[in-house]
Amino acid sequence: MTTTRILVTGGAGFIGSHYVRTLLGPGGPGDVSVTVLDKLTYAGNPANLETVRGHAAFRFMKGDIRDSGLVTDLVAEHDQIVHFAAESHVDRSIRGAAEFVLTNVLGTQTLLDAALRRPEGSVRFLHVSTDEVYGSLTEGSWPETDPLRPNSPYAASKASSDLLALSYHRTFGLDVRVTRCSNNYGHHHFPEKVIPLFVTNLLDGRRVPLYGDGLNVRDWLHIDDHVQGLELVRTGGRAGEVYNIGGGTELSNKELTQLLLDLAGASWDSVEYVPDRLGHDLRYSVDCTKISTELGYRPRKDFTVGLAETFAWYRDNRAWWQPLKERAAL
């Protein structure tokens, strides 16, 4: 059996680590080896990879995707790249965009150039992106053919990296595949994002900060379903194509807050309305017809079940998240 050597960037983060744990865990493909490249910034956590650290097919490398020499050497040893590494928090991008441009755009370009230099020839490049590149909409859902209209510095940096990656397919024939996912949720999520922040605040008896009127709508995607979609695209997708991956559960932030209050046994007295985020997109919704028709994707995780499981994980794993919140002053 031939082993596919996969380089996973950002593999110590929330989604990347779950992808690695899934590949190397029970029910994984069995014909892969994985090297994680991660800079271990504030959101990268070595503890996320504890269950696979002793796996014979696993290797970890601390490093920056902007380090051309390191990246070139690593890409030369691998058949495929799954690229998660990115700065991803909208609020942080509003406070300062430079790191988002450097990591998300320059870092992606460094990886793409290394892929072109790979001495053994073509490497498959799966670029993991976000529905935020499409902007905001009031009705309907975005197909992959919709124009990109990003509204935050974060989203603009991801849109730039998407277009850059696709240009390397068009210009150089590189096997690039792009995925754009809706909002992810699940365990091991850094507690600055809305669900883990609200859950951990409620577990501590603290109030939760709800932006504006709470009517902004998001589609929620469990990390199990996201990984399912990524694997379908990695193994069966077409080069040069974009695939949306959604969860099929649209909720306003106010509706989501109510569900979390119910799980915590708390009331609306635990909610603090705060000034709305600058440029806050009203609604995201991706059309998943393409990945469903071509690759058979269907979200499997019921949202009510997934949210309850997520709440229980944070309740039972305080030792994982409490030090992170204390260091980040969340």
pLDDT tens readout for residues 223-258: 999 999 999 999 999 999 999 999 999 999 999 999
**What's the pLDDT score for residue 330?**
84
CATH number at residue 22: 3.40.50.720
132 is catalytic: yes
pLDDT tens, position by position, 11-25: 999 999 999 999 999
pLDDT tens, position by position, 72-104: 999 999 999 999 999 998 999 999 999 999 999
- Establish if 228 belongs to a structural domain: yes
Question: What Å distances lie between residue 134 and 115, 142, 223, 244, 279, CA to CA?
Answer: 27, 7, 21, 11, 14
Helix (H, G, I), strand (E, B) or coil at 126: strand
Task: Say if residue 203's pLDDT is above 90.
Answer: yes
Residue 34, token pair as written in the block: 């994985």
pTM score > 0.85 for this model? yes
pLDDT tens, position by position, 143-182: 999 999 999 999 999 999 999 999 999 999 999 999 999 9
State the Cα–Cα distance between residues 9 and 72, nearest whole angstrom. 13
Task: Say if residue 56's pLDDT is above 90.
Answer: yes
Task: Say if residue 323's pLDDT is above 80.
Answer: yes
**What's the pLDDT score for residue 250?**
97
- Establish if 134 belongs to a structural domain: yes
Q: Look up the domain containing 13 and give its range.
A: 4-190+220-248+282-301
State the Cα–Cα distance between residues 127 and 168, nearest whole angstrom. 12
From 19, 87, 144, 154, active-site residue: 154
- Establish if 154 belongs to a structural domain: yes
- Establish if 272 belongs to a structural domain: no
From 38, 79, 132, 219, active-site residue: 132
From 131, 144, 225, 231, active-site residue: 131
Task: Say if residue 121's pLDDT is above 90.
Answer: no
284 is catalytic: no
**What's the pLDDT score for residue 77?**
95
Q: Looking at the 3D structure of the chain, how many domains does it have? A: 1
Calculate the average pLDDT of the chain: 96
Contacts of 77 (CB under 8 A, 6+ apart): 5, 7, 35
Neighbours of 123 (CB within 10 A): 23
State the Cα–Cα distance between residues 54 and 52, nearest whole angstrom. 6
For the chain, how big is the Rg over CA atoms in Å? 19
Residue 149, token pair as written in the block: 């209209």
DSSP lists the bridge partners of residue 142 as 286
- Establish if 10 belongs to a structural domain: yes
- Establish if 205 belongs to a structural domain: no
